[in-house]
Chain A
Amino acid sequence: MEWIKQIVQYIAIMFIQVLLIGNLHFMGMCHPYIYIICLMTMPITLSVPIELIIGAIVGFIMDLFLTTPGVHMAACTLLMYLRRSMIPHLVFEPERLTGSIDSSSLGMSGWLQYIAVLTLVHHAMVQILSAWSFHHIGWIILSIIISAFISLVLIILYDLIHTRQ
């Protein structure tokens, strides 16, 4: 039953992303993507190729809603790939992680490193690919930093609410 609850929660997060977060405006610079919570907190009990495919599918669905074919798919696949190679560096016995990945399973500092790196990489990939040029590179970098910061705050809040339950 636990995993059905989890999937429903993931779908709810994707709806929030598409319908609410997509309408945030801050000088055209704010593009937070909180749906990556779904990918980052996913348990690591599945095999790597299947995880990569799940990442690609989630990214592809976001692409359909945001009219950015391929962009989120590329970023999410990269995120899933990096995530698997990061976890062994953050905890001693990755085999013991059977539940979802969060601040209680990775420890607060490990969790913060984990989400900071993955969020930055994902946001940078999305923004550079959707600009598809390095014409306004300074502006794009600023936009990546602001968006990633806002996403991180929202992800930390989500985690606090989630682990408190």
Chain B
Amino acid sequence: MRSLLQFILRYSNFLVFMSLEVVAFLLIITYSDYPKSTVLTSANKLTAFHYQTWNNITEYFSLRRTNTILADENAFLRGRLSELEQLQAEHIADSVSKSLRNIHYMPARLIHLTTNEQHNYLTLNKGIHEGIRSGMGVRNSDGAVGIVCAVSEHYALVIPIIHTKMQLSCRLKKNDYIGTVHWDGRSCTYAQLEEIASHVHPEQGDTVVTSGLATAFPAGVPVGVVEKVELGDGDIYYTIRMRLVADFKRLNYVQVIDNELADEQHTLEKEWSGLSK
């Protein structure tokens, strides 16, 4: 007993060091996938409050640019609206108008984001209180941004496309072939499109849009533009580098997509996968 005490006293510094490291590594391992709660992230009350305050100050410096973007978007949407109204007046297709009504957009503002980590996250200024739930898609006026992974009372944490663990089901707009968008952890303006088979012929300049298979995004939200296509000898899949349409460094206002039918689709898919096992 005495020798044990002596041992502990003698190596107390090292033991304290090791136990702190163990705690840190436990935290890393538990959170190395997506965070499920906002407690230890930038969306918790304390940190989000600081970011919010800072954002309230810095917001003024980008007002001019934000105004221009919003005005452009308004003009574009007004054009689309009149097109749709015309279309609806011409032939009222019940199924089309019904499926359009299931999706709602909620505006939100970004209060914090990182772009040069491996695991980047965005923090939004809206949470459960405003109707945001985890699993909802997030887009801005250009295209897809990410998916909400955790929500607190008034803030939400979003995994953007530029997160090494993120995978987004997408398709080539021109021929509807489905692939997966994945980020390699380097530049926040580029991502990779994977699982496009060698018999498809993607070309530089092709648009990549969301597939609509998952519930987060409706089909056809722009994600990127193909920049470089490579196919090595004997490869089954192309290596495709694409430029992301969302400019992550200048993100400001985003829309959270609320798909009313998401729960129904999840329940059905869960039941079916349970049966097939």
Q: Chain A: residues with CB nearer than 8 A to chain B?
A: 18-19, 22, 24-25, 27-31, 48-49, 52-53, 55-56, 59, 63-71, 73-74, 77-78, 81, 84, 129-132, 135-136, 139
Quick one: given A64-B47, A130-B118, A139-B186, are A69 and B20 in contact (CB under 8 Å)?
A: no
Chain A-chain B contacts (Cβ-Cβ < 8 Å), number: 106
What residues of chain B lie closer than 8 Å to A130, measured between beta carbons? 117-119
Quick one: given A28-B116, A64-B41, are A74 and B188 in contact (CB under 8 Å)?
A: no
- How many Å from the CB of B253 to the closest CB on chain A? 18
- How many Å from the CB of A65 to the closest CB on chain B? 5
Interface presence of B35 (CB below 8 A):
yes
Closest to B17 in A: A81
Interface presence of B13 (CB below 8 A):
yes
- How many Å from the CB of B156 to the closest CB on chain A? 13
Of the candidates A25, A27, A55, A70, which one forms a contact with B25 in the assembled complex, judged by CB atoms under 8 Å apart?
A70
What residues of chain A lie closer than 8 Å to B42, measured between beta carbons? 64-67
A59 to B21, CA, bound (A): 11
B16 touches A49 (CB 8 A): yes
Of the candidates A27, A52, A73, A78, which one forms a contact with B187 in the assembled complex, judged by CB atoms under 8 Å apart?
A27
Contact count band on B: 35 or more
A56 touches B23 (CB 8 A): yes
B30 touches A69 (CB 8 A): yes
Interface presence of B28 (CB below 8 A):
yes
What residues of chain B lie closer than 8 Å to A66, measured between beta carbons? 42, 114, 117
What residues of chain B lie closer than 8 Å to A67, measured between beta carbons? 35, 41-42, 114, 119, 121, 157
A77 touches B116 (CB 8 A): no
Of the candidates B46, B114, B121, which one forms a contact with A22 in the assembled complex, judged by CB atoms under 8 Å apart?
B114
A19 to B223, CA, bound (A): 29
Quick one: given A28-B187, A132-B28, are A63 and B40 in contact (CB under 8 Å)?
A: yes
What residues of chain A lie closer than 8 Å to B16, measured between beta carbons? 48-49, 52-53
A80 to B273, CA, bound (A): 50
- How many Å from the CB of A47 to the closest CB on chain B? 9
What residues of chain A lie closer than 8 Å to B54, measured between beta carbons? 19
A27 to B25, CA, bound (A): 29
A65 to B121, CA, bound (A): 11
Apart from A48-B13, A55-B20, A129-B28, what 18 extra A-B contacts exist at CB < 8 Å?
A: A49-B13, A52-B16, A53-B16, A56-B20, A56-B24, A59-B24, A63-B27, A64-B44, A64-B47, A67-B41, A67-B121, A69-B40, A70-B26, A70-B27, A70-B28, A131-B118, A131-B164, A136-B185
A25 to B13, CA, bound (A): 38
Taken residue by residue from 104 to 121, chain B's Cβ proximity to chain A (1 for < 8 Å, 0 otherwise) reads as 000000000011111101
